[in-house]
Structure 1
Amino acid sequence: MLGRPFLALGLLLCGLSGVEFIFAALDATVSDENWQGFLISAIMSGLIGVGLVSAFWSAAHDKHFDLRSGFILTALSWTVFPLMASFPFFFSDLDISLTDAVFETISGVTTTGSTVLTDLDHLDPMLLLWRSVLQWIGGVGIILMAVLMMPFLRIGGMQLFQLESSARSETGLHTRPGALIRDIAALYVALTLLCAACFSIAGMSAFDALNHSMSTLATGGYSTHDASLGYFNNAAIYWVAIIFMAAAALPFMMYLRAIKEGPRIIASDPQAPLFLLMLVGMWLIGAAFLNEGGDYFTTLTRVAVNVTSVITTTGFASEDYQLWGAGFIGFFFALTFFGGCAGSTSGAIKIYRLQLLGLYAGAHLRRLHSPSIVQATTYGGVKLDRETGLSVLAFLALFVGAFSVGAFALALTGLDFPTALSASATALCNVGPGLGAVIGPAGNFSTLPDLAKWILLGLMLLGRLELFALLVLFDPYFWR
């Protein structure tokens, strides 16, 4: 059972080692500041990766890939990989603890975007690029996990997005995923390059454009400046960010279908139209309350960039929106939980689960006054069954439980309750900034206690792996 997951992990670490070697060479050429840290990390990752590949190479001939292997591979990939990828920060001249190095890396790979680093404007460019690359890799990893793994693992209603039965069965994967992975990766790269070009045209430097494009498409939110997007104070840059953040929160499988079958597919997608309509509606509501008689377009831009950033779980900020008033603090806290579409890079609850919750609630309401009614509930042309409903409800119940326990645990570390509450929400939803003076859009996570950071790390991983993919490993029956 363990052979295939550990072999895949070994190959993943070998790939990480290769990327770190490239960064070591680039850093030695460009800045000559932290190339030793990248080199040490590359050697460590390479040795462990080669060791795992050598030990489990015989598993390469095992064609069976079952549910347990899927859960183990998912958990290993999202815990061991970030741990090994954190050493360039730890061995750098940043002089940060291992806790902070791991926090920065897992926040990046899970596309959360919370940071413990300060003075980003004067940081080694290669470390800034490493943060962006980690988010970018995490973003495409999230898409592939949502398309290939989560429906197979039947987590949180994701089985609705299962590929054709000829491609996947209940007990294993029986398809060549290479073509699908290639198409998604090509689309991801193309959108990233397009975003970088648009940022550059709008006024960013080439380095800033590259970093921000990777963070935008990953809906991660790492910036090269402490002031995030507010550093640029440029409406054109804001709207480029808005468009590509929204694009990254839409299903990537929808894009592939639209390329093959035409743009009409977008209108027929069960998630995308509602998400876009809700997004624009939030812009208009926010702008209506914020507008103080000045230029409406400027107000709309200020609202749109921050609302889109939070609702897509990206985490960029153009300003401290907490200064807009108490109503907006509650508004942005509520937006933290929405998220984008399934099969995108965004986190949080996601639109399709809210749609399913509405469908099941409506069906139950009708049964209350008409117990004998016969009704077929469908979503996206797929008939909803009892298992899907239980899966979604179990996810939502566990999500609320994890959020509540996380907030309580953070409060026990000494955080004030508003900070603990928003920190738990932003970590579990993979958004990035929280609320309050400490971790708000103008704040930073560096001053939090180490114990609080480890609690947040756990919440980030729980949210990114849709809760069950990680928690199932703690069930004794799983290992029998």
Structure 2
Amino acid sequence: MSNYKTVFFILGVLQIILGLSMIVPIIAQFYYNQVDSGFIGSGLVSIIFGVLFFLSNLDYEKKLTLPQAFLLTALSWLSIAIFGSLPFVFSDLSLSFTNAFFESMSGITTTGSTILTNLNETPKAILLWRAMLQWLGGIGIIVMAITLMPIMNIGGMQLFVISNTHTPEKILPKSKEISIRLIAIYSSLTLVCAFFYKIFGMSFFDSIVHSMTTIATGGFSNYNESIGYFDSGFIELTAIIFIILGSVPFIAYIKYLGGDKKIFISDTQIKTFIKILIFSIFIIFLYLSVKNQSIFEINFREVSFNVVSILTGTGYVTNDFSKWGQFPLIYFLILMFIGGCAGSTACGIKIFRVQILYQFISNQLKRIIYPRGIFNIKYDKNNVDEKFMASIISFIFLYILIFFVITALLSVDGLDFITAISAAATSISNVGPGLGDIIGPNGNFSYLSNFSKWILSIGMILGRLELFAVLVLFIPSFWRKY
């Protein structure tokens, strides 16, 4: 039986960090004269539990084995979602635990779905805390995707292993060095984004909150109208640029700083991501032009912004795109599934899996025409063997299967087809708003039942942690092996 002291030691550290981070909303409460005891009590509870975990596991082994990596991945997100919900429970909003947990899970997984019905009147500390949860979730998923997932063999993520010596026993020493660099890059992008938001018209508070949720591709906003509240082309352009910067592989930033100055134009995943963005903007613009019979009636700014927001899973909106017609809704549903790049804050199936699946299908068609031909699948000049291919295909199959299961469960709860299918897609793809009148761009998830909210919360953590990282924990043979 493995010793899990390392797991609980790290969980203790995370809880302490979470509790200490609540000091920031407390400062905001005093500054805006909106003081209540919610964050003080929540911070103390989080720190106390963190200290207990920390002190009781001080003699940890300073290494992380494979089963420990899986357990840490799932428990870290679950525990932060639970303790992160306490400020919502103890606040003057009087939220039930279900609503508070949903909001917290939506934040930490950078989904962006919300149950808060009047953001314009919500206390500043709560708005700041939602943004902080998304910001912490964004950097957390980047670190995990680059350090843990490659050795966990999840859905082809082993393609992004950092070095040949990246074994489970060497995770912690290697991850410390990488994590420091990633946090520095992530923080710098956030500050630069906040600076441009401020000079283009946002208040200091709005610029800080929106910069955190922009880089995290989370989409929580301070206003019911989302980014559309500002009605500013410069703010929307800033959002587009930094959403894209948050959706590219963060390992590319490290490579760039290490001397590879062409990484952003040579990386195959980034190139495909940009191509999909350009094509999607063009196809939606073309459809709306034909539908309206005039290109001069189409707002290119709105089309570009909403395409970028949906593909990356950010979830910001500038207007109600559900009024554009049926085709954009179906196309946006497809974009929700694709997502951004691996090793970024974006979620979804990920660009690299779409690339490899395309090559696989293409080779299968070629084999029909040329039965004796030999066709290899390559990614970034490296051969993709059958083990990688099986891992990617199984991930995509499971992704679609869970999507249909969630849709079916939501339908059983009485939701209409559009609401059920878009809610399932937005949860597992961590996008934010769904489609339709209930949960669409102008809607809200507060109208759903508690059953639906728990189903969607499960979908959020499954999608954020690449499915297998959670599901493998429920297989008895996995534990017997270790």
Would you say 1:123 and 2:125 are equivalent positions? no
| Structure 2 counterpart of 1:256, from 233, 254, 257 | 254
Identify the range of structure 1 (23-32 vs 153-162) with the bigger mean alpha-carbon deviation. 23-32
Q: 1:216–1:241: 8 Å Cα contact kept in structure 2?
A: yes
Q: Match of 1:338?
A: 338
Identify the range of structure 1 (234-243 vs 152-161) with the bigger mean alpha-carbon deviation. 234-243
Q: Match of 2:153?
A: 154
SS at match of 2:433: coil
Q: Match of 1:238?
A: 236
SS at match of 1:359: helix
Identify the range of structure 1 (461-470 vs 44-53) with the bigger mean alpha-carbon deviation. 44-53
Would you say 1:432 and 2:427 are equivalent positions? no
CA–CA distance in 2 between the matches of 1:25 and 1:197? Answer: 21
CA–CA distance in 2 between the matches of 1:176 and 1:225? Answer: 41
Tell me by how many angstroms 1:367 deviates.
Answer: 2.6
Q: Mapping of 1:10-89 within 5 angstroms?
A: 10-34=12-36, 36-59=37-60, 62-89=61-88
CA–CA distance in 1 between the matches of 2:201 and 2:208? Answer: 12
Identify the range of structure 1 (171-180 vs 296-305) with the bigger mean alpha-carbon deviation. 171-180
Q: Match of 1:418?
A: 418
Tell me by how many angstroms 1:373 deviates.
Answer: 2.5
> What's the CA shift string for 1:174-210, capped at 9, x where partnerless?
7432221111111111111111111112221111111
Tell me by how many angstroms 1:152 deviates.
Answer: 1.2
SS at match of 2:447: coil
Identify the range of structure 1 (249-258 vs 451-460) with the bigger mean alpha-carbon deviation. 249-258
Tell me by how many angstroms 1:165 deviates.
Answer: 0.7
> What's the CA shift string for 1:396-451, capped at 9, x where partnerless?
11001100000000111111121111100000000000011000011000010000
Tell me by how many angstroms 1:247 deviates.
Answer: 1.3
Q: 1:18 to 1:175 in 2, by over 3 A?
A: closer
Would you say 1:352 and 2:352 are equivalent positions? yes
Amino acid in the other structure paired with 1:135 = Q
SS at match of 1:173: helix
* Number of aligned residue pairs: 476
> What's the CA shift string for 1:29-53, capped at 9, x where partnerless?
432333x111111111111111111
CA–CA distance in 1 between the matches of 2:454 and 2:375? Answer: 47
Q: 1:217 to 1:296 in 2, by over 3 A?
A: farther
> What's the CA shift string for 1:255-294, capped at 9, x where partnerless?
2212222431222212001111110121122122224477
In structure 2, the gaps of 5 or more residues are: none
Tell me by how many angstroms 1:300 deviates.
Answer: 1.1
> What's the CA shift string for 1:60-96, capped at 9, x where partnerless?
xx14421100000001101011100110011000011
Amino acid in the other structure paired with 1:340 = G
Q: 1:32 to 1:299 in 2, by over 3 A?
A: closer
CA–CA distance in 2 between the matches of 1:279 and 1:187? Answer: 24
Q: Match of 1:98?
A: 97
Q: 1:343 to 1:416 in 2, by over 3 A?
A: same
Tell me by how many angstroms 1:304 deviates.
Answer: 0.5
CA–CA distance in 1 between the matches of 2:253 and 2:470? Answer: 29
Q: 1:174 to 1:424 in 2, by over 3 A?
A: closer
Q: 1:136–1:215: 8 Å Cα contact kept in structure 2?
A: yes
Amino acid in the other structure paired with 1:14 = I
Q: 1:14–1:50: 8 Å Cα contact kept in structure 2?
A: yes
CA–CA distance in 2 between the matches of 1:185 and 1:97? Answer: 34
Amino acid in the other structure paired with 1:56 = N
Q: 2:181–2:254: 8 Å Cα contact kept in structure 1?
A: yes
Q: CA RMSD in A?
A: 1.6
Q: 2:16–2:50: 8 Å Cα contact kept in structure 1?
A: yes
Q: 2:338–2:349: 8 Å Cα contact kept in structure 1?
A: yes
SS at match of 1:105: helix
* Runs of 4+ that moved beyond 6 A: none
Amino acid in the other structure paired with 2:72 = L
Q: 1:142–1:345: 8 Å Cα contact kept in structure 2?
A: yes
Q: 1:290–1:299: 8 Å Cα contact kept in structure 2?
A: no
Q: 2:28–2:124: 8 Å Cα contact kept in structure 1?
A: no
> What's the CA shift string for 1:115-169, capped at 9, x where partnerless?
0002111111111011001100000111111100111101000000001113x02
CA–CA distance in 1 between the matches of 2:163 and 2:155? Answer: 19
Q: 1:440 to 1:277 in 2, by over 3 A?
A: same
SS at match of 1:336: helix
Tell me by how many angstroms 1:234 deviates.
Answer: 1.2
Q: Match of 1:444?
A: 444
**How many percent identity over aligned positions?**
40
CA–CA distance in 2 between the matches of 1:171 and 1:206? Answer: 44
Amino acid in the other structure paired with 1:15 = I
Q: 1:297 to 1:388 in 2, by over 3 A?
A: farther
Q: 2:106–2:457: 8 Å Cα contact kept in structure 1?
A: yes
Q: 1:31–1:124: 8 Å Cα contact kept in structure 2?
A: no
CA–CA distance in 2 between the matches of 1:354 and 1:22? Answer: 40
Q: 1:12–1:49: 8 Å Cα contact kept in structure 2?
A: yes
Amino acid in the other structure paired with 1:418 = I
Tell me by how many angstroms 1:472 deviates.
Answer: 0.5
Would you say 1:400 and 2:403 are equivalent positions? no
SS at match of 2:174: coil
Q: 1:160–1:382: 8 Å Cα contact kept in structure 2?
A: no
In structure 1, the gaps of 5 or more residues are: none
Q: Match of 2:386?
A: 386
Would you say 1:316 and 2:278 are equivalent positions? no
Q: 2:6–2:62: 8 Å Cα contact kept in structure 1?
A: no
Q: Please give the TM-score of this superposition, normalised by the length of structure 2.
A: 0.96
Q: Match of 1:464?
A: 464
SS at match of 2:446: coil
Q: 1:182 to 1:170 in 2, by over 3 A?
A: closer
Tell me by how many angstroms 1:296 deviates.
Answer: 5.0
Would you say 1:290 and 2:288 are equivalent positions? yes
Q: 1:108–1:134: 8 Å Cα contact kept in structure 2?
A: yes
CA–CA distance in 2 between the matches of 1:163 and 1:41? Answer: 38
